[in-house]
């Protein structure tokens, strides 16, 4: 709380999990950091469910997320926000980017991209190997003709976008001033073949719509912020301050993840573990870099 005892509504932070699996210890840590960042500054803490991937999102995972956060003793302000309620705004932003001639159709498949990688390895970005730009120079007429029968995604022409916006920067409260190097990410996908919108555009639009002043998230998304800053500039959106915290790692030094079956909070909750006690351990550790899953 502020000195006056009132909420400082200039500070708005969010936690935004995807309901495509159960939350694990890494999520608990990330939620705690974002929650405490807001509360220590007398601000608001929002909960946004990032459920744009309808094929993988499940109602039972949403219920588990809410139960896990309550078990941890982390409370949010206002109603829970769902990305699935916002598809119209995403579509409008996509059309805006098309009008600016910032997007192009991409017909590459996972197989063709894997073959290209085997022929000559591409530098790694946060989303995997950087896209080689195979479809960037397709003739527009040919691309439109192929699009009638071939599945395709839409990619952001990063070089063209940077040429339009000019130099850009953003600020991280832990890492300091940053100059964008979005070209190191390659031409990221904005509209996937089977999903209405990709993470990069959805999260940028939602943070602006929700009035997020401080994006508090893990270091694994640090490099992606260059793309988000670029999209903010193209779409005339405000730029929040960022705070990328260290990741919670397991005993082997690997990042906790759903795909690796990292210990889920629901299992710990069902086993009688204290969620409040777990959060207190995290707070006492002050940016832990490892945790014994067997002891959890």
- Among residues 98, 160, 184, 258, the one annotated as catalytic is 258
User: What per-residue confidence (pLDDT) applies to 103?
Assistant: 98
- pLDDT, position 110: 76
Q: What is the pLDDT of residues 196-240, one digit of tens each?
A: 999 999 999 999 999 999 999 999 999 999 999 999 999 999 999
Name the β-bridge partners of 128: 125
Give the pLDDT band of residue 123 (cuts 50, 70, 90). confident
Global pTM reads 0.89
Residue 286 or residue 295, greater confidence = 286
The band of 55, judged by pLDDT with boundaries at 50, 70 and 90, is confident
Residue from 137, 231, 229, 164 nearest 191 by CA: 231
Give the pairing of strands 241-245 and 44-49. Answer: unpaired
**Mean local confidence (pLDDT), 192-197:** 92
Number of Cβ within a 10 Å radius of residue 186 = 22
Tokens of 283: 């707070």
Count each helix (H run) and each strand (E run) in the chain, helices first. 10, 12
Q: 184 catalytic, yes or no?
A: no
pLDDT tens-digit series, residues 66-119: 999 999 999 999 999 999 999 999 999 999 999 999 999 999 987 776 666 666
């Amino acid at each position: 709380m502020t000195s006056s005892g009132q909420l400082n509504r200039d500070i708005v932070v969010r936690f935004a999990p995807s309901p495509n699996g159960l939350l694990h210890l890494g999520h608990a840590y990330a939620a705690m950091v974002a929650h405490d960042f807001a509360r220590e500054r007398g601000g608001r803490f929002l909960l946004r469910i990032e459920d744009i991937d309808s094929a993988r999102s499940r109602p039972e995972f949403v219920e588990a997320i809410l139960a896990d956060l309550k078990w941890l003793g982390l409370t949010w302000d206002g109603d829970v926000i769902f990305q699935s309620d916002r598809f119209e705004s995403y579509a409008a932003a996509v059309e805006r980017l098309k009008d600016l001639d910032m997007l192009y159709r991409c017909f590459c498949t996972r197989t063709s991209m894997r073959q290209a990688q085997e022929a000559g390895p591409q530098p790694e970005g946060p989303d995997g190997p950087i896209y080689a730009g195979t479809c960037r120079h397709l003739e527009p007429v040919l691309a439109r003709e192929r699009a009638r029968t071939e599945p395709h995604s839409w990619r952001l022409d990063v070089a063209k976008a940077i040429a339009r916006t000019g130099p850009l920067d953003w600020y991280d409260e832990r890492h300091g001033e940053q100059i964008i190097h979005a070209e190191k990410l390659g031409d990221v996908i904005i509209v996937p073949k089977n999903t209405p919108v990709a993470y990069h555009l959805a999260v940028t639009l939602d943070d602006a719509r929700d009035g997020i002043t401080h994006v508090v998230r893990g270091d694994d998304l640090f490099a992606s912020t260059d793309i988000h800053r670029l999209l903010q500039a193209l779409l005339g959106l405000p730029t929040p301050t960022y705070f990328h915290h260290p990741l919670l790692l397991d005993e082997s030094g690997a990042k906790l993840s759903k795909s690796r079956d990292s210990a889920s909070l629901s299992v710990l909750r069902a086993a009688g573990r204290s969620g409040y006690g777990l959060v207190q351990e995290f707070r006492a550790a002050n940016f832990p870099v490892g945790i014994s899953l067997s002891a959890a």
